[in-house]
């Protein structure tokens, strides 16, 4: 479980299907929350990014593999690693782990690519220099 950033989330009833297992699409929500907290930890305020630079990050693509189920009340560790940083995009590798004492179980892994777009046109735009610098420092 090597990661530049780890975020903890609890599995609630609303995250599960009728069998008490986390619904597969909810891993994308968990990954989104972890990336948002990663940005916050890097000192990047998404509201200020939109207001000051007219820029925001949007998901361009996802590829997720599922290895084992998470269940109701599990505590998950979500990891965020910058795999590739471009001028207008960032590709992340993210994982969801269940940690029980000293044992850890990989539940899901994914590659998520986000692009920076202009909030007025929704066209690709370069990541603002100060944001790029913070990502390089953190990632």
Active site residues: 17
Cβ 49 vs Cβ 117: under 8 Å: no
Closest CA to 124 of 54, 44, 48, 20: 54
Q: Distances in Å between the alpha carbon of 67 and those of 54, 75, 106?
A: 39, 16, 7
């Amino acid at each position: 479980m090597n990661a530049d950033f780890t975020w903890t989330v609890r599995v609630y009833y609303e995250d599960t299907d009728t069998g008490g297992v986390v619904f597969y699409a909810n891993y994308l929500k968990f990954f989104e929350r972890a990336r948002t907290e990663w940005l916050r930890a890097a000192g990047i305020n998404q509201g200020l990014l939109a207001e000051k630079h007219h820029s925001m990050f949007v998901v361009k693509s996802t590829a997720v593999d599922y290895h084992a189920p998470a269940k109701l009340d599990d505590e998950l560790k979500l990891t965020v690693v910058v795999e590739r940083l471009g001028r207008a995009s960032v590709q992340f590798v993210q994982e969801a782990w269940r940690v029980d004492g000293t044992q850890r179980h990989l539940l899901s892994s994914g590659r998520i690519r986000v692009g920076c777009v202009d909030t007025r046109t929704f066209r690709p735009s370069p990541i603002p220099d100060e944001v790029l610098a913070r990502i390089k420092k953190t990632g």
